[in-house]
A = this chain, B = another copy of it.
Amino acid sequence: MTQASYSIKVVVQQTGLSSHVIRIWEKRYGAVVPLRTNSNRRAYSDAEIERLLLLRDATHAGHAIGSIASLPNDCLLRLIKGGSSSTLGDACPEEVQNRCMVAIRALNTRELEDVLQLGLLHLGQHGILERVIGPLAKTIGDLWREGIITAAHEHFASAIIRNFLVRNYKPFSQSADMPTLVVGTPAGQLHELGAVMVAAAANDLGWRVIYLGAGLPAAEIAGAALQNKARAVALSIVYPTDDPGLPEELRRLRSHLGSIPVIVGGRAAVAYAGVIEEIKADHPATLSALSKRLDAIREAAERAPIRAQGNSRTDPQS
């Protein structure tokens, strides 16, 4: 069995590391020592490329290469993911949340980023998502409704939190058999923070996420899901709570999607409980519940890999 081997050129392309760095890491720290060809060229295996990716992410996350180069892969993974959640108890989520709100009201980009980063360090990935960003989204929504902060604050916070999540929730090494999840908010819903959180959580759970952002008509959400054979669709509904058009929009979505599971989350979901029930959508109350639900869907799908639903037209592209 001739295992495929890759030249350093290919490794550079795949990792984004320079050949210099790859070589010096090998020389100084023995981070990845590939086999050699007869002519002394380095020949990397898939596993070695994977390890280089882990090292890249770990160093990018602030760890010194010299102190992590000899760690086994699973330790690296823990470093990159929520691993360092040794939960230094001295930073309670409320404190982090408060400081976030101060930074948001001051429109202070740097402060907000710093506080989030600090919170990540102390609370771990799960912690900051569930105990800071989640409540924060709720608070922002409330204050905005009361006119205490403006849409600018809301947009500002959304953008930075989104960036924060993007930067820190690195996509897992994508493999072909990952299930696909389409995430967005339906037409009329303009707050995308909830959707961003769902996307981050699902990504963390090993889903391939197609993030569509805010305010899309049902037909387009459904089109995206069908086009990519999505395993599920997740919507976030925060405000307004009394949109008369939304129930019809949800029904339309269901009729397009056939039997694909739909998950509806967010503060205002209770206000539409009737329709949600009607279209047989899930409504997890917390992020943990959402995670459980996603796991369940994936497991069910793995048990019955080919979806034999009567999906007549796969491409409703006009």
Given A86-B14, A228-B107, are A212 and B159 neighbors across the interface (CB < 8 Å)? yes
Is A40 in contact with chain B by the CB < 8 A criterion? no
Given A151-B217, A152-B216, are A4 and B75 neighbors across the interface (CB < 8 Å)? yes
**Do the beta carbons of A70 and B166 come within 8 Å of each other?**
no
Given A155-B213, A213-B155, A213-B158, are A62 and B13 neighbors across the interface (CB < 8 Å)? yes
Q: How far is the CA of A171 from the CA of B114 in the complex (A)?
A: 12
Interface centre among A166, A172, A208, A209 (most CB of B within 10 A): A166
Given A37-B67, A152-B212, A213-B156, are A318 and B4 neighbors across the interface (CB < 8 Å)? no
Query: Across the two chains, which residue of chain B brings its CB closest to A76?
Result: B4
Q: Which of A14-37 contact B (CB under 8 A)?
A: 14, 16, 37
Chain B residues in 8 Å Cβ range of A158? 213
Chain B residues in 8 Å Cβ range of A62? 7, 9-10, 13
Q: Which of A135-150 contact B (CB under 8 A)?
A: 147, 150
Query: Across the two chains, which residue of chain B brings its CB closest to A85?
Result: B14
What is the CB-to-nearest-CB distance from A221 to chain B, in angstroms, rounded to a whole number?
7
Is A239 in contact with chain B by the CB < 8 A criterion? no
Q: How many residues does chain A have at the interface if contact means C-beta atoms less than 8 Å apart?
A: 68
**Do the beta carbons of A155 and B167 come within 8 Å of each other?**
no
Interface centre among A13, A72, A75, A174 (most CB of B within 10 A): A13
Is A113 in contact with chain B by the CB < 8 A criterion? yes
**Do the beta carbons of B159 and A213 come within 8 Å of each other?**
yes
The one of B159, B220, B318 in contact with A147, judged by C-beta atoms closer than 8 angstroms, is: B318
Is A73 in contact with chain B by the CB < 8 A criterion? no
Fill in one digit per residue for A92-125: 1 if any B CB lies within 8 Å of its CB, else 0: 0000000000000011111001000110010000
What is the CB-to-nearest-CB distance from A7 to chain B, in angstroms, rounded to a whole number?
5
Q: Which of A160-176 contact B (CB under 8 A)?
A: 160, 162-163, 166-167, 171-172, 174
What is the CB-to-nearest-CB distance from A234 to chain B, in angstroms, rounded to a whole number?
15
Is A307 in contact with chain B by the CB < 8 A criterion? no
Q: How far is the CA of A318 from the CA of B159 in the complex (A)?
A: 23
The one of B72, B83, B106 in contact with A14, judged by C-beta atoms closer than 8 angstroms, is: B83
Q: How far is the CA of A246 from the CA of B38 in the complex (A)?
A: 68
**Do the beta carbons of B155 and A110 come within 8 Å of each other?**
no
Chain B residues in 8 Å Cβ range of A37? 67
Q: How far is the CA of A227 from the CA of B104 in the complex (A)?
A: 12
**Do the beta carbons of B150 and A220 come within 8 Å of each other?**
yes
Chain B residues in 8 Å Cβ range of A159? 211-213
Q: How far is the CA of A257 from the CA of B79 in the complex (A)?
A: 35
What is the CB-to-nearest-CB distance from A140 to chain B, in angstroms, rounded to a whole number?
14
Is A297 in contact with chain B by the CB < 8 A criterion? no
Chain B residues in 8 Å Cβ range of A184? 152, 155
Ranked nearest first, the 5 interchain pairs of A and B with the lowest CB-CB distance are A152-B220, A155-B213, A13-B86, A163-B166, A150-B220
